[in-house]
Structure 1
Amino acid sequence: MKRKIWIRVLIVLMAIMLALAFYRLPYYVEKPGMAHELKSLVQVENGYHDKGKLMLTTVRMGRANIYDFALAKIRKFEEIVPLTDVRDEKQTEEEYNVYQLYLMESSKNNAIQVAYKKAKKSFHSIYKGVYVLSVYPNMPAAKVLKPGDRITKIDGKSFESSEQFINYVQKKQAGDQINISFVRDNSEKTSSIQLAKFDDAKGKIGMGIGLVDDRDLISDPVVKLNTEEIGGPSAGLMFSLEIYNQLTKNDITKGYSIAGTGTIDPDGTVGRIGGIDKKVVAADKEGAQIFFAPDDEITPEMKKAYPNIQSNYKEALKAAKELGTKMKIIPVKTFDDALAYLSTLT
């Protein structure tokens, strides 16, 4: 009898433990990801080859269950991040993922512009339509559109910018119906949406979406970047270096293994990113000899909001010291800073 009771207790405990594994806490766990060689992701038509390698670095992010949470408390270079620090409370998981993929696309376009300008190669952009970042749950678009859709026409009309798109819609009245053409998963679709007033926008009319311009960059020679499901803007600097290296005869790697991180603006400015200590770990694990870190400026406003904040460069130095790595941490403010350092290598 006692044996049967203990078996039942054990079964109940196992069921509870299994249930806890599937229950998601309002936190993410951030941990070191990978350092990925860029020549496998970036192909410039008839591009030059290098002796070394340039690598992007990533951070692994996942919703925490109780076990992830507990382990992150004791493991080095793992961090517990409140859900609200990662995405807006009103933003769904799908919208967050779509936004990260959009940031990656923007990062790639910026990197192409920076590299092609520096290499004195030609490029131009073409407008593809309006990219849907989010859909308001209580607005008419929620019945038709999803984050990641690309709207190409309204009432048979094409537009050259999201501003033209918005102006056209706002001239309508609540209750008016518009016909839209859009692309989802490479498939053309059409539908109609009845416009309505936004509850919190003082009578503003719309279909109920958050949007940005969707543009493609056309370059000569052609460059292709295959990032699959990698999201976010933090690979911008390393993309620009890899593209530039394939565009120019002089090998900037000079046989070294080089990793790094940082956003890139069209003017070549390198920007701050999150989780740089985990990226240092990933780069060191892959055997990188050099690591580029954004040397971003900490403003008084940032210091007031986050008293312990440091520049990415200082954070990377600290992580490297804790690791005991021989990898050199190099501060950069611009794309040209990175090239200037690489030109000193022998």
Structure 2
Amino acid sequence: MRKKLFIGSTIVAAIVLIGAMFYSLPFYITKPGMAKALKPIITVKNGKKDKGNFMLTTVRMGQANIYSYAEAKMSKFEEIYPESEILNPTETEEEYNVRQLYLMKDAKLNATDVAYRKAGLPVKFKYNGIYVLSVLPNMPAYGKLKAGDRIFKVDGNTFSSSNEFMDYVRTKKAGEELTFTYLRKKQTKDVKIQVKPFKQEPKRVGIGISLVDDKEVIVSPPVKIVTDEIGGPSAGLMFSLEIYNQLTKDDLTKGHQIAGTGTIDVDGTVGPIGGIEQKIVAADKAGAEIFLAPNEHGAKKSNYRDALKAAHEIGTKMKIVPVDTFDEAVTYLKKSPQK
């Protein structure tokens, strides 16, 4: 009898323990990701070869369960974030992932724009339509359009910007029906959606989507950037340096392993990102010798200062370099010694 009770209680305990692995908490955990060479990711046709590497750094993130939450509490380089700090109000996890992929796409566009112009080459853009980031519940588009859909026609009309799209929708009256032509998973579809007043702004009508322009950059020689499912804008600086290095004569790497992070604006400004301490850990493990960090114009709590602190804590010999612009990064690398 005791043996049966022991076996039964053991099975129950095992079920509870396994169930805890799949029970999600309203928190997200971030931890050090990877540092990956950009040469296999970015290819400029007939581009120059470098002796060293520019490296992309990432942070791993996932929703917490009981075990990952407890582990993160005890780990120095794992962070816990409430769900509300990761997802926007009404945003689903799927929509969050779509938003991150769009931010990556935008980072690639900006990086290409900056690199080619700095190399003295022309840049043009082709407008493809409207990119749906999220769909509001209780609005007409809900259940008909999804995050990631690309709308390229409305009532058979094409537009040159999201502003033109919104201006067209605003001319309609509540209850009027529009036909949206969109692309989803490489399939073109049509859907009819009525416009409806917004609850917060009854005088304004719409279908209830948040959107951005979907465009592509046209450059010569062409460049290909393959990022698969990596999301977010933080690789912008490193993308721009790798592209520029393949376009120009001198090798900025000079044989070094150069990691870094930071967003890139079209004017070449480098912006701050999250999780820089975790990226320092990832870069050090990958053997990086130099790490370029957003300086935020010398702010007391800048990415650069956080990176310095993390580098000191792990005892790395990696040199942490503050940068505010693409030009500053290039100037530093041109002055650095050949390995």
TM-score by shorter chain over 0.5: yes
Instruction: Report the secondary structure of 1:143's partner residue.
Output: coil
TM-score normalized with structure 2 length: 0.98
In the other structure, the counterpart of 1:306 is none
Give 1:203 shift.
2.8
- Counterpart residue number, 2:217: 217
Residue 249 of structure 1: how far off its partner (Å) = 1.3
Consecutive unaligned residues of structure 1, counting only runs of 5 or more, are 300-308
Question: Which residue of the other structure, out of 310, 321, 325, is the alignment partner of 2:316?
Answer: 325
**CA distance, structure 2, for counterparts of residue 345 and residue 212 of structure 1:** 40
Residue 62 of structure 1 deviates from its aligned partner by 0.5
- Provide the secondary structure at the position in 1 that maps to 2:212: strand
Alpha-carbon displacement from aligned partner over 1:294-317 (angstroms, at most 9, x marks no partner): 001477xxxxxxxxx711000000
Q: Tell me the secondary structure at the aligned position of residue 24 of structure 1.
A: coil
State the Cα distance separating 1:18 from its structure 2 match: 1.1
- Change in CA separation of 1:96 and 1:154 when aligned onto 2, cut-off 3 Å: same
Q: Distance in 1 between matches of 2:88 and 2:311?
A: 32
CA contact (8 A) 2:297 2:324 kept: no
Letter paired with 1:345: S
Deviation of the 1:207 alpha carbon: 1.1
Taking structure 1 as the reference length, what is the TM-score of the superposition?
Answer: 0.96
Pairing 1:194-273 to 2, within 5 Å after superposition: 194-273=194-273
1:137 Cα offset (Å): 1.6
5 Å-filtered alignment, 1:278-297, equals 278-297=278-297
Partner of 2:180: 180
> Would you say how many aligned residue pairs link Structure 1 and Structure 2?
337
Superimposed CA distance per residue, residues 75-120 of structure 1 (whole angstroms, 9 cap, x where no aligned partner): 2211111111112232110111110001001111000111001100
In 2, Cα distance between equivalents of 1:244 and 1:158: 34
Where 2:141 maps in the other structure, the secondary structure is helix
For structure 2, the 5+ residue unaligned runs are none
Q: Root-mean-square deviation (CA), in Å?
A: 1.1
SS in 2 for 1:40: coil
Letter in structure 2 aligned against 1:114: V
Q: 3-state SS of the aligned residue for 2:335?
A: coil
Match of 2:332 among 330, 341, 345: 341
Q: Equivalents in 2 of 1:297, 1:8: separation in Å?
A: 63
Q: CA offsets, 1:5-61, max 9 Å, x none?
A: 111111111111111110111111110000010011100011000000000100000
Q: What secondary structure is seen at the aligned counterpart in 2 of 1:122?
A: coil
Q: How far does residue 202 in structure 1 lie from its aligned partner after superposition?
A: 2.7
The equivalent of 2:115 in structure 1 is 115
Structure 1 residues 185, 140: closer, same or farther in 2, change over 3 A?
same
Letter in 1 for 2:233: P
Determine the structure 2 residue equivalent to 1:98: 98
Distance in 1, matches of 2:203 and 2:93, equals 29
- Structure 1 runs of 4+ aligned residues shifted over 2 Å read none
| Match of residue 8 from structure 2 | 8
d(CA) in 1 for partners of 2:89, 2:181 = 30
How far apart in 1 are the matches of 2:206 and 2:319?
52
The yes-or-no answer on 1:59 pairing with 2:59 is yes
Q: Which amino acid aligns with 1:323?
A: I
Is 1:312 the counterpart of 2:303? The answer is yes
Alpha-carbon contact 2:90-2:136 (below 8 Å) kept: no
Distance in 1, Cα, partners of 2:23 & 2:203: 41
**Residue 72 (structure 1) shift:** 0.7
Q: Distance in 2 between matches of 1:311 and 1:279?
A: 15
Q: Distance in 1 between matches of 2:84 and 2:144?
A: 28
For 2:335 and 2:227, locate their aligned partners in 1 and report how far apart those are by CA, in whole Å.
Answer: 30
Question: Which amino acid in 1 is paired with 2:54?
Answer: L
C-alpha contact 2:90 2:137 (8 A) present in aligned 1: no
Three-state SS of the structure 1 residue aligned to 2:105 is: helix
1:76 maps to 2:76: yes
Code of the aligned partner of 2:306? E
Shift of 1:142: 1.2
CA shift for structure 1 position 143: 2.6
2:193, 2:308 → 1: CA distance?
53
Identity percentage over the alignment?
56
Query: For 2:310, what is the secondary structure of its paired residue?
Result: helix
CA distance in 2, matches of 1:39, 1:298: 31
- Aligned twin of 1:305: none
